Structure 1
Amino acid sequence: MINVTKSYLPDLEEYTNYLKEIWETVHLTNDGPLLRKLESQLKEFLGVKHLKFCTNGTVVLQMALKALGINKEVITTPFSYVATTNAILWEGCTPVFADIRPDDFNIDPAKIEPLITENTQAIMATHVYGNACQIEQIQAIAEKHNLKVIYDAAHTFGATYNDRSILSYGDVSTCSFHATKVFHTVEGGCIVTDDDELAQKLHFYRSFGHRNDDYFSIGINAKNSEFHAAMGLCVLPKVPDLIAARRQVFSYYNNRLDFTRITRPSLTPGVGYNYAYYPIVLDSEETLLRVADALKAQDITPRRYFYPSLNKLPFVITSDNDKAQYCPISEDVALRVLCLPLYPSLSEAEVDQISGIVNEAIAIVSENA
């Protein structure tokens, strides 16, 4: 079976060596030595000032909203994983959807400003598939209207924009370290900021607001364990090689797929890409379903990533919510985009097989049209 992704696992002995340290210290969680070591290495690798390693990529979005005092309207993208919208709703805020750009599927800055009201407090944008948003335009809008910028940068680890980590932009950026990501800690995530005061607040938020035996602030359980940190310490040094391997798989697809019948989202100028995903866009949902079925018949699992358009979620579109905007570009793309398998160990022969199935399925649809 070929899945849409396959987690990289380091040499077992390398991981076991860290486990021996955990057994010796009996420090399993609660800001342990391996966690602090990983945070230090991550900051150095990414070139960021403050980074907090947390339990996952969703809770850090919630922490960002809470720490910035956001409790009203948040302008966000309809084309992202559901966690982006869930975090906004979970914190009692109202998501206001701005449609996406048709070329790169990131939030369209031109659609943001018309949606700003007296209740708008923040912009939460996703760097879709690890590709940078229109960062300068979003920042200009935020400064003009005194809004905070939160980037859901779940897919961007190892990617850069203008030679800086994409995670270094915005008031706050968050990342997922889930097992499916370019860099992973099995489960995990991080929150990044340049603001000293905000970083201190996030430090306490992560662990129930504890400061010694007292409570410094409101908090939540967003701590991560030494076991997860150990995995991160094993994987982090391999990231450049993992990205290089992904780039090679990317090139295999580029050389084999029939681009007379499919398209791909464009890359933002200035981006050093991490090759996190390989999305293709078909001419219709009917074609997508035929391609997906043809792949699954050969035990190959693609993914409709992202589907549906988040403004169409049933728990967002309610009779008392007048901010569920019509987003025609996102709604259309969400019906036609399919992510093909991509991971470092995917072989050229496997890519050849996948591409052949895709091309044949598309050709059959075209012949029957």
Structure 2
Amino acid sequence: MLDLENRRPTFVTRPGLPEIGDVLPYLERIWSSRVLTNGGPLAQELTVALQDYLGVAHLSLVSNCTSGCIAALRGLKVKGQVITSPFSFVATANSIVLAGAEPVFADIDPVSLNLDPEQVERHLTSDTAAIMPVHSFGNPCDHAALEEIANRRGIPLIYDAAHAFGVKSNGQSLTNLGTCSVVSFHATKVFNTFEGGAVITHDEQSKAAVERLINHGIEHETSVPEIGLNGKMSELHAAVGLAQLPYVDEIINQRMMIANKYSARLSGTQGVHLVQPSPDVRYNYYMFPILLDTTYPLSRDELCATMEAEGIFPRRYFFPLVSDLPSFQHHSSAEPSNLPEARRVANSIVCLPIYPDLPSVVQDRIIEIVLSPTR
């Protein structure tokens, strides 16, 4: 048993922070310039740094991933139905609705946990206006198949890449895929600016459309041609990002070591299935999900309760399915019979704690509980 009296609770993740001394020079620049937002010098500097790190040409900083998804959908004039995954954080479907479109839920692939292209085909109609897949836990979607569908139908392929910062497949950044991609810099992510995100597009015209929409629809001082939102990133958040970015490769390597230890110890355990990317993926180890089947001695919720009794708090990402939430369950595509794989995964998944300073003794205890849950 862990010494609960002397140990803080262990959550599924713990935000990474730069050294405070690295942030202070940026704060001094803010106080000196008195520029606080509206694409200030630090936001511009972070934009260039992230374009270089991610290997992308056109990146727009946003206040959060949700506002970025809304701006991407609005910028592409998406009206009608958007096929997406029910196995995601609710923000994916929320952004579709808030952009004035309708989510249509298609089932997921049982291995990658991403939107299944064959299921996307089943849901195509004359009202289909876009496809919005999610790179679940940073695992790459089947981009070739999804791109073929989108190109054939002449509709945008908008990736919710919230989990995919720094992930590469065959040497290419996932954020370079599709018509555009939206990434999150939320506090729980591998790279964070406390709150924040970015929209990655492929040309200056698309970038300008996004940046107009996140600035209330303002084109210039006397011209506001459309309704927008306030989705800009502040200089304070950009300061955190600039101080954080030099550490991100080290953070990913530390997460990799923790993930490798989980994999080595848990691989082959009866009733436990690991969710891992293919060898050609440079992964970011954002989460460490496992799936439990009926041969495992405990139910998923019983395993979570066992850990929680020792101050360890895994998460059931993503349960319930978005399609089961009151705001979305009325959609015909939300019918349980339409989503058997997503439902099976949602009912059996556990994300184990993973972050760079996870104490080794705590990880050992997590592994012990999974290996011998009735001990």
- Aligned residues of 2:88 and 2:134 also touching (Cα < 8 A): yes
- Using the TM superposition, name which of 204-213 and 53-62 deviates more: 204-213
| Cα separation, 2, equivalents of 1:268 and 1:78 | 23
- Aligned residues of 1:55 and 1:222 also touching (Cα < 8 A): yes
Q: Superposed, which structure 2 residues align to 1:73-88 within 5 Å? A: 73-88=81-96
Q: 1:221 aligns with which of 227, 230, 246?
A: 230
- Aligned residues of 2:135 and 2:163 also touching (Cα < 8 A): yes
The amino acid that maps onto 1:197 is: Q
Say if 2:112 is the partner of 1:104: yes
- Give secondary structure in 1 for the equivalent of 2:37: coil
| Cα separation, 1, equivalents of 2:36 and 2:293 | 51
- Aligned residues of 2:106 and 2:333 also touching (Cα < 8 A): no
| Cα separation, 1, equivalents of 2:333 and 2:306 | 38
- TM-score w.r.t. length of structure 2: 0.93
- Aligned residues of 1:133 and 1:268 also touching (Cα < 8 A): no
% identity of equivalent residues? 38
| Deviation >4 Å, runs of 4+ | none
- Give secondary structure in 2 for the equivalent of 1:133: coil
- Aligned residues of 2:137 and 2:287 also touching (Cα < 8 A): yes
Say if 2:292 is the partner of 1:282: yes
The amino acid that maps onto 2:275 is: P
| Cα separation, 2, equivalents of 1:277 and 1:75 | 25
| Cα separation, 1, equivalents of 2:356 and 2:254 | 5
Instruction: Name the structure 1 match of 2:363.
Output: 351
- Give secondary structure in 1 for the equivalent of 2:272: coil
Instruction: Name the structure 1 match of 2:5.
Output: none
| Cα separation, 1, equivalents of 2:70 and 2:247 | 30
1:360 positional shift: 2.1
Instruction: Name the structure 2 match of 1:367.
Output: none
1:212 positional shift: 3.7
Say if 2:255 is the partner of 1:243: no
- CA RMSD in angstroms comes to 1.5
The amino acid that maps onto 2:292 is: L
1:210 positional shift: 2.3
| Cα separation, 2, equivalents of 1:270 and 1:10 | 30
Say if 2:39 is the partner of 1:31: yes
| Cα separation, 2, equivalents of 1:92 and 1:317 | 18
The amino acid that maps onto 1:241 is: E
The amino acid that maps onto 1:304 is: R
The amino acid that maps onto 2:204 is: D
Q: Superposed, which structure 2 residues align to 1:282-361 within 5 Å? A: 282-284=292-294, 287-318=299-330, 321-325=331-335, 326-361=338-373
1:269 positional shift: 5.4
| Cα separation, 1, equivalents of 2:334 and 2:235 | 41
Q: Give per-residue Cα distances to partners, 1:19-54, cap 9 Å, x unaligned.
A: 111111111111110000000100011111110111
Q: Superposed, which structure 2 residues align to 1:55-74 within 5 Å? A: 55-74=63-82
1:88 positional shift: 1.2
Say if 2:277 is the partner of 1:267: yes
| Cα separation, 2, equivalents of 1:309 and 1:211 | 39
1:205 positional shift: 1.1
Q: 2:171 aligns with which of 163, 166, 172?
A: 163
- Give secondary structure in 2 for the equivalent of 1:192: strand
1:10 positional shift: 1.1
| Cα separation, 2, equivalents of 1:125 and 1:107 | 6
Structure 2 unaligned spans of 5+:
1-8
The amino acid that maps onto 1:275 is: Y
